[in-house]
Amino acid sequence: MSDKNFSIIGSYKTKNTVEKTAGVIFLACAFFAVLAVFSITLYMIISGTPAIFEVGLKEILFGTVWKPNAADPSYGIFYVIVTSIVGTFLAILIGVPIGVLTAIFLAETAPKRLAGIVKPAVELLAGVPSVIYGLLGILILNPIMYKLELLIFKDSPNHQFTGGSNLISAVLVLAIMILPTVINISESALRAVPRHYKDASLALGATHIQTIFKVMIPAAKSGIITAIVLGVGRAIGEAMAISLVAGNGANIPLPFNSVRFLTTAVVSEMSYASDTHKRVLFTIGLVLFAFIMLINLALNKVMKGGKKDANS
Amino acid sequence: MPTVNSIYDKRLRPLDGLIHGIIYFCASISICLLAGIVGYVAFRGLSSINLAFLTTVPSSLKGTFGIAGNIVNTLYIIIITLLIAVPFGVGAAIYLNEYAKPGKLVSLIEFTTETLSGIPSIVFGLFGYVFFGITLGLGYSILTGALTLVLMVLPLITRNTQEALKTVPDSYRSGALGIGATKWYMIRTILLPSAIPGIITGIILSIGRIVGESAALLFTAGSGFLLPKLGEYGEGLFQKVLQPGGTLTIQLFLSMEKADYDSAFGIALVLLAIVFGINMLTKYLAHKFNVNK
pLDDT digits (tens, 9 = 90+) for B164-223: 888 888 898 899 888 888 888 889 888 888 888 888 888 888 988 898 888 888 888 877
Does any domain span residue A89? yes
B144, part of any domain: yes
Judge if A80 and A175 occupy the same domain. Answer: yes
Residue A2 lies in a domain: no
pLDDT > 90: percent of chain B: 13
Phi-psi region of A275 (alpha: psi -120 to 50; beta: other; left: phi over 0): left
Q: Give the separation between CA A207 and CA B53, rounded to whole angstroms.
A: 57
Three-class SS of B24-43: HHHHHHHHHHHHHHHHHHHH
In a domain, B126, yes or no: yes
Mean pLDDT, chain B, whole residue set: 84
Q: Determine, yes or no, domain membership for A191.
A: yes
Instruction: Specify if A153 maps to a domain.
Output: yes
pLDDT at res. A104? 92
Judge: A26–B154 Cβ closer than 8 Å, yes or no: no
CA-closest candidate to residue A33, choices B139, B157, B204: B157
Alpha carbon distance A232, A255 (integer Å): 20
Same domain, A34 and A160: no
Structural domains counted in chain A: 2
Question: What span, in angstroms and rounded, lies between the C-alpha atoms of B64 and B57?
Answer: 7
Which band of pLDDT confidence, cut at 50, 70 and 90, is reported for residue A294? confident
Give the count of beta carbons closer than 10 Å to the beta carbon of residue A112: 6
Whether residue A151 sits in one domain with residue A231: yes
Nearest to B127 among A40, A109, A237 (CB): A40
- Between positions 114 and 153 of B, the ones with CB within 8 A of A are 114-116, 118-124, 126-127, 129-131, 151
Is residue A59 in some structural domain?
yes
Q: Which of B135, B123, B256 is nearest to A270 (CA)?
A: B123
The minimum CA-CA distance between B238 and chain A, rounded to whole Å, is 26
Separation CA B219–CA B254 (nearest Å): 13
CA B65, B71, B76, B81 torsion-angle sign: positive
DSSP B228: P
* Mean predicted confidence (pLDDT) in A49-78: 82
What's the CA gap between B94 and B90, in Å, rounded? 6
**Contact with chain A for residue B274, Cβ under 8 A:** no
CATH of the domain at B235: 1.10.3720.10
CA separation, residue A138 to residues A195, B43, B267 (Å): 45, 16, 16
Whether residue A99 sits in one domain with residue A42: no
Return the ∠ at Cα B268 (arms to B261 and B160), rounded to 5°: 155
DSSP H helical segments within chain A, as ranges?
8-48, 50-55, 57-62, 78-104, 112-126, 130-136, 142-152, 167-191, 195-203, 208-211, 217-219, 221-237, 240-243, 262-269, 275-311
Q: CB within 8 A of A155, min separation 6: which ones?
A: none
The domain that contains A281 carries what CATH number? 1.10.3720.10
User: Do A141 and A63 fall into the same domain?
Assistant: yes
- Verify that A176 and A295 share a domain, yes or no: yes
Q: Classify residue A3: in a domain, yes or no.
A: no
| Closest partner CB to B131 (pick from A43, A176, A230) | A43
Domain residues for the domain of A168 are: 52-311
Please report whether residue B90 resides in a domain.
yes
Q: Decide if B70 contacts B58 (C-beta within 8 A).
A: no
CA pair distance A98, A106, nearest whole angstrom:
12
Q: What type of residue sits at position A301?
A: K
Dist. CA A278–CA A301, nearest whole Å: 35
Question: Which pLDDT tens digit goes with each residue over B106-140?
Answer: 888 888 888 888 888 889 999 999 898 888 888 88
Cβ neighbors of B229 (< 8 A, separation 6 or more) are B236, B239, B240
pTM of the predicted structure, to 2 decimals: 0.85
Q: Which of residues 169-228 of B touch A (CB under 8 A)?
A: 182-184, 187, 208, 211-215, 218-219
The 10 Å CB-count burial string (b at 16+, else e) for A216-237 is bbebbebbbbbbbbbbbbbbbb
Do residues A72 and A179 share a domain? Answer: yes
Asked if A171 and A285 sit in the same domain, the reply is: yes
Q: Which residues of A touch B23 (CB under 8 A)?
A: 101, 104-105, 109
Share of chain A above pLDDT 90, in %: 21
The residue-averaged pLDDT of B38-44 equals 89
Region A84-89: what's the mean pLDDT? 91
Residue B143 forms part of a structural domain: yes
Least CB-CB distance to A244: which of B20, B89, B257?
B257
Q: Are residues A127 and A267 in the same domain?
A: yes
Q: Which of B72, B88, B198 is nearest to B152 (CA)?
A: B88
Cβ–Cβ gap B27/A122 under 8 Å: no
Give backbone dihedrals phi and psi of A131, rounded to 5 degrees, phi first: -60, -35
Nearest CA in chain A to B181: A15
pLDDT at A197: 92
Residue ranges making up the domain that contains B195: 51-292
- Residue A35 inside a domain? The answer is yes
- All residues at 6 or more sequence positions from A229 whose CB lies less than 8 Å from its CB, including other chains: A295, A298, A299, A302
> Total domain count for chain B?
1
Please tell me the predicted confidence (pLDDT) of residue B287.
78
ipTM for this prediction: 0.83
Residue A306 three-state SS: helix
